[in-house]
Amino acid sequence: MVKKSNSLIAFFKTIVLYFTLLIVLIPFGIVVMNSFKTTQKFIESPFSLPESFKISNYVDAFQSMNFMQAIFNSLILTVGSIVIIVFFSAMTAYLFARFKWKVNKILFFAILSSMALPFQVLMIPLVILYGEMGLLNMRPTLMFMYVGFGLPLGVFIFHGFIKGIPYELEEAAFIEGCSRLRTFFVVVLPLLKPVMVTLIILEVLIIWNDYLLASLILQSPNLRTLPLSVFNFFSSYSVDYAPLMAGLLMAMVPVLVLYLILQKHIIQGLVDGALK
């Protein structure tokens, strides 16, 4: 009787999971379907299947978005920001976890407190400040802001993980003659790989899909990222929906591919983080 009850519970859990998956996939499916229609067909019946597959929408989107330049800009900003975030947040978290200075506790809680401050509170002051210094419309300025907003999350994630690493591993490296810096790169950093992948995915989703901050800093057409380039399909009086759907799909594909490649490491990172 107990076994039958457990089987029914497992069955209902499976049904709920598949139903949730369906709800999540419906918006994505609508974008895919409408990317092959004309704008008129999209307006008339957005939930119907396409009568024919119009590849021309993707060609139009590729040209209108200046896709190669846009994806180059997004890659430069995303990769550059994440490399800096991962490197410095790991070293900062190591400092907080291994050195029991009183000032470290104050600094750690100050960094964590900054995560509770919404970006919208700082948005206007930041734009005014950097505008007065003549630093707007520059990739390094936007990258600097991404790093500033991304470091607290990285420090928080790495700090909890590093505290769970046995200190005896580092002591063994010290006995072998390793310096503190070399010990960090040779012993500690490789152990951070699972949680590092999790942080990379989280930051990729934030930076790659960012529209608001990028729209405030980058003004030149040749500096636009993919989310900014999608806005080309909006005019003052109309929206070209069919190429817009194709453009949205093209902007999503790189992140989806990255997630599929790193999926195993993401799940492992979450499990290891929970165990720590």
Per residue of the chain (276 residues), give pLDDT as tens: 556 666 777 778 888 888 888 888 888 888 888 888 888 888 888 888 887 777 888 888 888 888 899 999 999 999 999 999 999 999 999 999 988 888 988 898 888 888 888 877 888 888 888 888 888 889 999 999 999 899 999 999 899 888 888 888 888 888 888 888 888 988 898 888 888 888 888 898 889 988 888 988 988 888 989 888 888 777 656 677 888 888 888 888 888 887 777 766 665 555 554 444
DSSP per residue, 84-116 = HHHHHHHHHHHHHHH---HHHHHHHHHHHHHTT
Contact status, residue 86 vs residue 196, Cβ threshold 8 Å:
yes
The reported pLDDT for the residue numbered 236 is 58
Question: What is the C-alpha separation between 227 and 245, in angstroms, rounded?
Answer: 13
**Domain definitions of the chain by residue range:** 62-275
The reported pLDDT for the residue numbered 234 is 75
Which CATH superfamily includes the segment(s) 62-275?
Answer: MetI-like (1.10.3720.10)
DSSP per residue, 22-43 = HHHHHHHHHHHHHTTS-HHHHH
The reported pLDDT for the residue numbered 163 is 87
The reported pLDDT for the residue numbered 75 is 92
Tokens of 62: 């590729």
Cα Rg of the chain, angstroms? 23
